[in-house]
Amino acid sequence: MHFYFPFKNPIFAATNFKEMATYKKTGVKGNKAQNNVEDNSTTAEVFKKLDSTASRSEQWVIKNQKIIYIFVGAVVAFILGYLAYQKYVKGPQEKEAANELAFPKQYFEKAINDEMAADSLFTIGLNGADGKYGFIDIVDKYSGTAAGNLANYYAGISFLRTKKYKEAIEYLEDFSSDDELLAPIAKGSIGDAFADINQPEDALNYYLKAGNLRDNNFTSPLYLFKAGNTAMELEKFDKALDIFTRIKDEYPNSDEAKNIDIYINKAAHASK
């Protein structure tokens, strides 16, 4: 039996295989070393760039440190000033304004419940008496406080009830609130004032604002109903139809929805 070897001398072949294996191992080691050099070089470059950036940042800080100190000082002074204002000025002023509001407010509440003497009671509430501030004084003296803002509402309603519509609009416009009822009532009352001075377009605008300002079963259908009737007055029958239909669909349990079909049919007939 004969064996075939690719090399004439088996010993030589074995020797060559050994050398080849050694050569391959040496090649791998060489590649790893080269990769490590490249990795170290890249890392060094990154750190070099970071050091350079940090150095530039430090130089910028040193160069502009005066401006930075002034800016930081101004921010700190502003914060401390704000806190001091809130504690020593705003807080006591809010308390003082709330105490002053109690006097005219009691006359306002009496006027709402006493139709016979309403005008005189509203007037006392507006102007004050016996050395006490009225709503107008509180608005002027305590502007920016919660009580001063609320005084705008009371003054606006008081002027509306005493038929001084221009003043009512002015004070109610200056009132702002997130309250579920007061906010839409203020807008709706402006609508009432415009309606009373025969400006139905403005009245319609404010009635719609009031109706859309909050979503509840009291103010929303109330002012939408007023908006629908004002639209009918302006012969905007399609708009009135949409408003009355909305009351029926969205506020079926409201007082305004009880006979709403009559108004829907009236608007539908007029729009043809």
Predicted confidence (pLDDT) per residue in 37-64, tens digit: 444 556 656 556 656 666 776 676 677 7
Q: Among 132, 151, 176, where does a domain finish?
A: 176
Q: Is residue 151 part of a domain?
A: yes
Contact between residue 247 and residue 220 where contact means Cβ atoms under 8 Å apart: no
* Same-domain pairing of 111 and 166: yes
pTM of the model: 0.71
| Residues 143 and 198 reside in one and the same domain | no
Q: 155 and 231: one domain?
A: no
Which of 131, 158, 176 delimits the end of a domain?
176
Q: What is the CATH number of the domain that holds 240?
A: 1.25.40.10
- What number is the average pLDDT over the span 97-119? 95
pLDDT at 272: 82
Note whether 227 and 208 are within 8 A (CB): yes
Q: Are residues 182 and 171 in the same domain?
A: no
Residue 22 maps to a domain:
no
Question: What is the domain extent for residue 224?
Answer: 178-272
Is the distance from CB of 226 to CB of 191 less than 8 angstroms? yes
CA-to-CA separations, 227 to 11, 94, 197, 248, 270, in angstroms, rounded: 112, 37, 16, 14, 16
CB-based contacts of 133, cutoff 8 Å, min separation 6: 100, 103, 104, 141
Q: What pLDDT is attached to residue 54?
A: 63
Residue 182 domain-assigned (yes or no): yes
* Residues 116 and 147 both lie in one domain: yes
Taking the C-alpha atoms of residue 52 and residue 44, their distance in angstroms, rounded to an integer, is: 12
Domain count, the chain: 2
Question: Domain for residue 20, yes or no?
Answer: no
Residue 133 domain-assigned (yes or no):
yes
Report how far residue 40's alpha carbon sits from residue 45's, in angstroms, rounded to the nearest whole number: 8
Q: Is residue 172 located within the same domain as residue 68? A: yes
Q: Are both 72 and 156 inside the same structural domain?
A: yes
Q: Put residue 127 in one of left, alpha, beta given phi > 0 → left and psi -120 to 50 → alpha.
A: alpha
Whole-number percent of the chain with pLDDT over 70:
72
pLDDT in tens, 123-166: 999 999 999 999 999 999 999 999 999 999 999 999 999 999 99
Tell me, yes or no, whether 223 and 157 share the same domain. Answer: no
CA distance 119 to 31: 101
